[in-house]
Chain A
Amino acid sequence: MVRKPLVSIVSAGLSKFGKREGLYGRELFAEAVKEAFERCPNLNPRDIEALFVGHMGESFEHQGHTGPTLLDWAGLLPIPSTRIESACSSSGVALRCGIFAVLSGLHDIVMVGGVEKMTHRSTSDVTEYLAMASDFPFEQWHGMTFPGLYALMATAHMHRYGTTEEQMAMVAVKNHHNGALNPKAQMQKEITLEQAMSSRMIAWPLKLYDCSLITDGASCLVLTKPELAKKFTDTPVHIVGSGQASDAIGLYEREDFTTLKAAKLAAQEAYRMAKIESREVDVAEVHDCFTIAEIIAYEDLGFCKPGEGGSLVENEITTIKGEIPVNTSGGLKSKGHPVGATGTAQAYEIYLQLTEQAERRQVKDAEIGLTHNVGGSGATAAVHIYRRG
């Protein structure tokens, strides 16, 4: 039995991702909002009743209190605005808060979204700001970095399952291929396995091409009660499952470094709510902040058994034409990773896929989509399941 939708997405917007020189986060957010309104002429901006927006770091733009700031630049004053921070899963969690707001009956129509402006800062500043999402006294204090934390997971995965550096590089090659088909991606260029393997070392065994990008970008979705969706569009996308879970902020506290327990629990909750099994997913956007994270995501989402993630990418199961296309947008790896915007940017890609608007990267007959958004080294995870309306 198919589940009744929790809420429906009636429109979505995404700024161009990349190095957006001279533009502030709020201006990028306005760009995403403009697209969402243009896509849905039946929607009056005044219909929006509340905004939930993901944004990770005040340090990037020396700007806190970003809920009302973003709302103002989107032309939406004076409705309530709430900023959500859960590192790289900020807007995945903002999406969930938007679902709560509609399900509670308090609001009929809400906007959810996210933003981050990062490229104007030096790489060492960005490294420092992002590291704030890891444990300060027991990780950052000792010289740990974000690539370093995922490298610890990669080493553990390689040691236990025999996953190889080549398999990780294959994730990068696949996602760059997809990103080259996405006009909004930051890096619209293919790379070879040799290029990925010979790129400079960041945190062994992770190399430059194993890492996602530093990106400016914003994303948004408009959510309504399912019964109102057809008033706005003939092609809504329904959200049928939503899961979120937490884990220790310190990677060192966890029992197993080859899996993200929070992502597994969030996925289980979302599947249960949607009344579907992992094999029914037609297209997924997963949190490939590092290539090993995509391999672990396959396993945590049940696309394969633990330890088989490397061979899934090697056997081309997750390409656009494969059995379970993953990161058709190019993922964080090639589309880019403006951290606060990523969760709803993943939902934007699934919205395009399930409404047949993904153009050259369209997955044929996609009915069910999934997003997997992870904060930090896995202390937060949000998983959502979508069905064509």
Chain B
Amino acid sequence: MWGVQVPQQPCIFIGEDEMSEVAPFTIEQFYKFISEKKLMAVKCLKCASLLLPPKNICPKCFSTSLEWTELRKKGKLLTYTVIHVAPAQFQSMAPYSMGIVKLEDGLQLLGMIRDIKPEKIKVGMDLIVDFDTDLPSRWPVWPRYFFKPP
């Protein structure tokens, strides 16, 4: 399995003992992987569905037999916008571009698009995922991922 690790902080596991060997299928864990520059999704061991965001129950077959799997960091831009009026904590960065990317593994992710002028952005263009691993000092202590041209 990919990138399996026992979380450093105590965490609640569901049911069976063997589960405690596996990193939990949580949003918190997803962002722990991001801080390690890994883009991970949950894979259903029964129907092979990939889940991003991670979920504890497969919405296709309701299985709870899951594993983490690492995704390729390449994809195509499906749609985008340029945010001019931003939430207070982002206003100093505005205007900034954001989009939804369809990753090569078929999953979709929303994030900022950096290192390219808004007028150069085109639907369908190739983008890659990169990581900004700075951690905030208070909840939620999550790093951020973003997109940029390859």
Binding site for B on A (CB under 8 A): 123-124, 127-128, 131, 137-145, 147-148, 151-156, 159, 200-206, 250-253, 257
Contacts and interface: CB of A to CB of B under 8 A. Distances in A.
B71 interface: no
A156 B78 contact: yes
Given A142-B111, A252-B109, A253-B108, A155 B80 contact: yes
A124 to B, nearest CB: 5
Given A152-B81, A155-B123, A204-B118, A141 B53 contact: no
A124 B92 CA distance: 13
Contact of A127 (B87, B95, B100): B87
B81 A148 contact: yes
B32 interface: no
Contacts of B144: 141-142
Interface residues of B, number: 33
Contacts of B31: 137
A147 B140 CA distance: 24
Given A142-B111, A156-B79, A202-B85, 7 more contacts: A137-B142, A143-B96, A143-B98, A155-B81, A201-B82, A201-B95, A251-B100
Interface in B84-108: 84-88, 90-91, 93, 95-96, 98-100, 108
B23 interface: no
B78 A257 contact: yes
A145 B91 CA distance: 11
Contacts of A147: 83, 85
A154 B100 CA distance: 13
A124 B87 contact: yes
A202 B93 CA distance: 14
A144 B98 contact: yes
Q: Nearest 9 pairs between A and B by C-beta?
A: A151-B81, A252-B110, A204-B82, A156-B79, A143-B90, A155-B79, A201-B84, A159-B123, A152-B79
Contact of B82 (A137, A141, A203, A257): A203
A152 B83 contact: no
Contacts of B81: 148, 151-152, 154-155, 203-206
B142 A141 contact: yes
B78 A202 contact: no
Contacts of B96: 143
Interface in B17-63: 27, 31, 53
A143 B112 contact: yes
A123, A250, A252 pick with most chain B CB within 10 angstroms: A252
